[in-house]
Structure 1
Amino acid sequence: MAATLLAVIVALAVGHLAPDIATGVRQHGWFGGWLRWLNAQFPEGSFWRGRHGIALALAVPLLVVGLFQVALREPLWGFVGVLFAVVVLFHCWGPRDLDLDVAGVLDAPDAASRRHAASRLWAHAAGARMDGPSLVEAVFRNALRRWFGVLFWFLLLGPFGAVLYRLSVLAVERDDTQLAHETAAGARAWLALLEWPVAQLMTLGLALVGNFDSVMAAWREDDAFALHGDLLGAAARASVRSEIAEEAADYAESGVSASTAIIEVFGELPELRDAMNLAWRILILWLAVIALFVVAGWVG
């Protein structure tokens, strides 16, 4: 737990203070080359081109990481293993700093620059949308895939879990690997399975740090617990709407119109700014829980 807390602090600090260095270190081009090599080796009808083929792509790098994780657990009273864990989590975090990407959208001087900056929040730039609900969903999807997914699986499985999640995301988000249709479908299903518990815990955190009633309303929907459901996105949109409405109501009591209050408090993209604030609150809550476990372990 202490190593996890240290690794997250390092990842956040370096990513924010030296984003170019962090992005340069977090390069995963080798995985795209590995996927293309597998494409070239296996013909149609092979295991690789089936629904479970993604397991073949993940097996080799995960075996290497797992062996290092086991081998480095004991040397120098575990210090080498802790260092390895910090390095792996830092490498799997991001790869870009979410806070800086959102700030780039908010600080853009014109509509064209704003759309270009917003494209960094989508895996494929052509899919970028500038409406408020889409931006909220994009922030939380990126928070899940850049922060919380890596953190959750690192907590459960150590460096092995962080690499497992990051490579699973890369297999789905890369647009230059030309995966077979069945392989790509299997990769999406596998990633959905990995992200389901993370999304549920993020939604719980959102209920605690945001508008509880709005989040609970989203949780009561019929498909809230479905593997491919949109629970997190729905809860985030509802919570952001409630937060903005409450802020506008507070200003309205002092004689300021709601539309003027929203622009004065949040700027031109109120949903985006509020979504980023909520994502930070959830992360701080998660880190606080981890810190409590660390302190309890020391006391025990």
Structure 2
Amino acid sequence: MSITLVAVVLALVLGHVAPTLVASLRRYAWYDAWLHWLGESAGGAWQARYGIALALVPVLLVVALLQGLLDGPVYGLVGLLFDIAVLVYAWGPRDLDVDVEAVIDAHDAPSRRAAIARLGLTGETAALDGPALVEAVFANALRRWFGVLFWFLLLGPVGAMLYRLAVHSRASEVLPEQNRRGTQVLTTALEWPVAQLMTLAMALVGNFDTVFTAWREAGGTRFRLDTGFLPHAARASVRGELAEEAEEYAEEGMVQAMRDLPELRDAMSLVWRILLLWLATLAVFVIGGWVS
């Protein structure tokens, strides 16, 4: 767990200090080539619903083998460096807060649309729509940060690579239809517990009643592979926090300061608080000696 704290901090620092360099290192062309080769050579097994296992299992076996072999040399230092390297590689591939800051700092419409596109919003959805931006921030937080972090905590480097490659496979255009559906099911299964924990943390760092109500109304209480409750709870939480902020200004007899893209700013602030709560919880477990 202490490795995770170091690795997450390092990933965030590198994303700020050298975002272009880090993004260039987080390339998966080798995996795309592997998917393409399987599409040409694997035959009917690749066409099946769970054909993605043909792509994931060999890669994960190699990572697991390295994880085991490197755990012992030099008092575990080599294994520590390997764990950190894998987490930093699987993080992102672009750092979320850097992309959000680019949207806020954009001074003209074309550059702002380009920055918003890096959050996954294009076409009509690339307009400055507050709820859509909130959803984009939390969807990217799940894919870029929390999904990788959660599975790294459970399975180590194998878990981090499993989640990153599954998400990358879902976006690939070379998968056959049935294979793509199976990949979607796998990715949603990997994301469901993460989204639940993110929503719980959101309730703890924000307005608990607002988040809990939105989570329940969106079907978060039902045990099904659907993460739609997360954006619903996020929109409700951000909307509630902005309303509370306006009320505080009114009570103090002040005119609320005009801010550009308030929903986007508040969503990113909320994501930061969730991440800090996760890391603080990890730190408590480490200090308490419950985990190594």
TM-score, L = length of structure 2: 0.94
Per-residue deviation at 1:298?
8.5
User: Which stretch shifts more, 133-142 or 290-299?
Assistant: 290-299
Aligned pairs (5 A) from 1:159-198: 159-174=157-172, 177-198=173-194
Equivalent residue in structure 2 for 1:276, among 265, 268, 278: 268
Counterpart for residue 99 of structure 1: 97
Deviations 1:163-219 (A, max 9, x none): 000000100123xx3211111111111000000000000000000001111111022
Counterpart AA for 1:277: S
Aligned pairs for 1:96-245 (under 5 A) are: 96-122=94-120, 125-126=122-123, 128-130=125-127, 131-174=129-172, 177-221=173-217, 223-224=219-220, 225=222, 226-245=224-243
- Tell me, in whole angstroms, the C-alpha distance in 1 between the residues paired with 2:185 and 2:212: 26
Deviations 1:37-85 (A, max 9, x none): 1111134xx1111110111110111110010011111112211111110
Relative to structure 1, the CA distance from residue 51 to residue 9 in structure 2 (aligned partners, 3 Å threshold; closer, same or farther) is same
User: Unpaired segments of 5 or more residues in structure 1?
Assistant: none
Tell me if the contact between 2:130 and 2:261 (Cα under 8 Å) persists in the aligned partners.
Answer: yes
Q: Could you say what secondary structure the match of 1:220 adopts?
A: helix
Contact 2:92 2:145 in 1 (8 A): yes
CA distance in 2, matches of 1:299, 1:60: 30
Cα separation, 2, equivalents of 1:95 and 1:229 = 21
Partner Cα distance (2:134, 2:243) in 1? 15
Give, in whole Å, the separation in 1 of the partners of 2:284 and 2:226.
32
* Number of matched pairs: 289
Rounded to whole Å, the distance in 1 between the matches of 2:195 and 2:291 is 31
Question: Could you tell me which residue of structure 1 aligns to residue 16 of structure 2?
Answer: 16
Instruction: Confirm or deny: 8 A CA contact 1:172 1:187 kept in the other structure.
Output: yes
Partner residue of 1:25?
25
Q: Which residue of 1 aligns with 2:282?
A: 290
Letter in 2 for 1:69: Q
The reply to whether residue 54 of structure 1 matches residue 80 of structure 2 is: no
* Alpha-carbon offset, residue 10 of structure 1: 0.6
Q: Deviations over 1:77-122 (max 9, x none)?
A: 2111111100100100011111110011111112222111100011
Distance, in Å, in 1 between the alignment partners of 2:283 and 2:130 is 34
**Contact 1:150/1:161 (8 A) holds in 2:** yes
Unaligned regions of 5+ residues in structure 2, if any? Answer: none
Question: How far did 1:128 drift?
Answer: 4.4
CA RMSD of aligned residues (A): 1.8
Amino acid at match of 1:208: L
Could you list the structure 1 runs, at least 4 aligned residues long, displaced by more than 4 angstroms after superposition. 124-128
SS of alignment partner, residue 252 of structure 1: helix
